[in-house]
Chain A
C-alpha cells in the first residue's frame, strides 16, 4: 500500500515505528495532489512551505518524545470556510477574494495543537451553499471516481481530497448534509456531530442554528480520531456544549448485538436509485444477521423537512451575509453613497446561488410573510424534533441512504435549484434536530460509483452512532479506492 492510501491509524503506526516521517507523509500527499489536482480541483490553496515547516516540527517533537496523539504528523485539509491566520480564506466567494484572516478558527487551532499538518484549503460551494461544489467562484471540483461527475457538496473539495489521497482526513461543514452527502458520493466516511460539540468560532457562518463542523476520513476510526481532536467546549462560541462528551474509542469494537435499528420509511421510494436502495437493504439485512433488531419507523414530518430547511437556512444566511458589505474586508464595488456602495459590492461579489438564497431568506423574513414562512418552518422544526424523540424512544439509531442517488454528472442540476436541493433530503432532518449522523461507504453501483449508508443518533449519541458505524464498515468490507489516471507531477 502506498503512503497516500493509508488510514491515519496505519500511517501513525509507521510514524511511531520510525519507518516513515511526517515529512515523508506530507511529500507523498503533496505529490499525490500535484498529480491529481488538474483533474479534480479539490484545493483552492496548497500551502507547501507552512506545511513543510509543520511536518518538520512534528518530526522533531516525536524525536524528543513528545507525541500529541493520533493526528500528530498527519497531513490534513481544511474546507476554505474555516479561518486560518495568515492564509487566504475565501469561502469560494469573489467577495472574499484575497481575504487573510487575522485569527485562527478554533478547529484550526485545535488541529495544530493535535500536531496535524495542514496541507491547504479545500474547494466548496460558495459560502457552503450547494450540493455539488459547482457553485464555487473559483471553478468546480470533480469526483475522483469519474471526473465527468461532481463530488457532492458543499464540502466537495474535502471529500475529493480524502478519497484520492491528497489528504489523510479533512474538515468539512454540514448545514444540511454538506459533509455526509459528498462523503457518500466519493466513498469516504463523513460525519456531522451533535450541534454545539465542535466550536463554530472562525467558521464563516451560513446558517448558525444548523452549521456544524465535522471530519471526512478514510475509516470510521480515523473519523473518531479527528472528531476527538476538534470537539470540546469553547467559550468563543455561545452555543458550545460544556457538559460531558461521549467516549468514542470504546465504541468501535462493540458490535450491534442487542441494538435496535430503525429503518426510516420516508427515506425511500420515488426518486431513490434502485442500486442505492438495494445496497442499503443488503446492509440492513447484514445488521440483522449481526444481531441487531431491525424495525421500520415512519417519521411523517421528514416529508416536509426539506421545505422547512429551505426557509430556515436562507433566512439565517440572509442575516449572516449582511456583514459582506465592502466596508471591513473583501471586495468593494463603486458607489457614491454608503448604501449604493454596499448594494453594488454585494451584487458583484455574490454568485447566483448565494444571491438566490439571500433573496429567499430576506423574503421569508420580511413583513407580512414571516408567520406563513419562517415562523411556520420553525414549528415544523419542532415537530421533526418531536418525531425524532418518539423514534428514539423505540430504537437506538435510525438508518437510511445518505443520498438518494450516486454522484451525478457535472452540470446536470445547475439550472434547476429545486432538483439540486433534493440531493439533501436524507441528511436535512438531523441538522434541523441538531443530532449527529454519519455516512459510511458500503459499496459501488454498476458504474463503479460509491454508495453511502447513513446512521443517525440522538443528541450526544455519538457513542452508539460510532458503534453502529464501525459495524457497518466491517460488514461492508468496502476497500475500493478510485482509479484515477495520475498525471505527471
Chain B
C-alpha cells in the first residue's frame, strides 16, 4: 500500500513526513495462541464450544493483522490520551437533582424496595 499515488497530478512538492518511524513487519513474527474459553470467561460470555471455535479462528485472522502494530520502531513514546490535553475535569461541588429513582428502576428486569434484585453470588450447597 502507499506506493501507487494516483491522486495528484499537479504537485508543487512532495513531503515525506515521518523520519522517526520504521515499519518492519514480518507476519509470522509472533504466533498468536488464544485460550478462547478463558477469554470468554473473562468477558462473561456463555458461548457454546462451536461458537468459541468460530470466534477463535476469526480472532486469529484479525490479531495477525493487528500485530502489525509491533512493527513500529523508534524511541519510547508516551501513550496518548486527549488530543487537547484535557485532564482532571471536575464540576463544581454543589447539589443538583439526580435522575428520578422510580423512572430508573422501571427499566430493571427485577427490583424490590428500591433495590436491583439478582440471584445469589454463589451456588447453594
Q: How far is the CB of A272 from chain B (nearest CB, A)?
A: 8
Interface 1/0 per residue, B86-118 and A, CB below 8 Å: 100101100000011001101111100000101
B-side contacts of A444, CB under 8 Å: none
Q: Tell whether A238 is near chain B: CB-to-CB under 8 Å.
A: yes
A201–B4 CA distance with the chains assembled, in angstroms: 43
A197–B38 CA distance with the chains assembled, in angstroms: 39
Task: State the interface size on chain B (CB cutoff 8 A).
Answer: 77
Q: Tell whether A11 is near chain B: CB-to-CB under 8 Å.
A: no
B46 near A346: Cβ-Cβ < 8 Å: yes
Q: How far is the CB of B8 from chain A (nearest CB, A)?
A: 5
Q: How far is the CB of B60 from chain A (nearest CB, A)?
A: 11
Interface residues of A in 294-331 (CB under 8 A from B): 294-304, 306-308, 310-311, 318, 322, 325-331
Q: Tell whether A67 is near chain B: CB-to-CB under 8 Å.
A: no
- Known contacts A268-B6, A327-B118, A343-B44, A195 near B72 by CB under 8 Å: no
The segment from A223-231, A374-382, A476-484 that touches chain B is A374-382
Interface 1/0 per residue, B21-47 and A, CB below 8 Å: 101010000100010101110111111
Q: How far is the CB of B118 from chain A (nearest CB, A)?
A: 5
- Known contacts A281-B9, A358-B43, A378-B79, A300 near B17 by CB under 8 Å: yes
A296 near B5: Cβ-Cβ < 8 Å: yes
A461–B19 CA distance with the chains assembled, in angstroms: 25
Q: How far is the CB of A56 from chain B (nearest CB, A)?
A: 26
- Known contacts A266-B1, A288-B10, A299-B17, A356 near B58 by CB under 8 Å: yes
Q: Tell whether A21 is near chain B: CB-to-CB under 8 Å.
A: no
Q: Return the contact of A360 from the options B7, B63, B67, B70 (Cβ within 8 A).
A: B63
Q: Tell whether A80 is near chain B: CB-to-CB under 8 Å.
A: no
A434 near B83: Cβ-Cβ < 8 Å: yes
A359 near B36: Cβ-Cβ < 8 Å: yes
Q: How far is the CB of A209 from chain B (nearest CB, A)?
A: 7
**6 A–B pairs (Cβ distance < 8 Å), ordered by A:** A285-B9, A299-B17, A300-B18, A300-B21, A356-B58, A394-B15
| A residues neighboring B (CB under 8 Å) | 99-100, 102-103, 194-196, 209, 235, 238-243, 262-263, 265-272, 277-278, 280-281, 284-285, 288, 293-304, 306-308, 310-311, 318, 322, 325-333, 335-344, 346-347, 350, 355-356, 358-360, 362-364, 366, 372-373, 375-383, 385-387, 390-391, 394, 400-401, 417-418, 421, 433-435, 459-460
| B residues neighboring A (CB under 8 Å) | 1-18, 20-21, 23, 25, 30, 34, 36, 38-40, 42-47, 55, 58-59, 61-63, 65-72, 74, 77-84, 86, 89, 91-92, 99-100, 103-104, 106-110, 116, 118-123
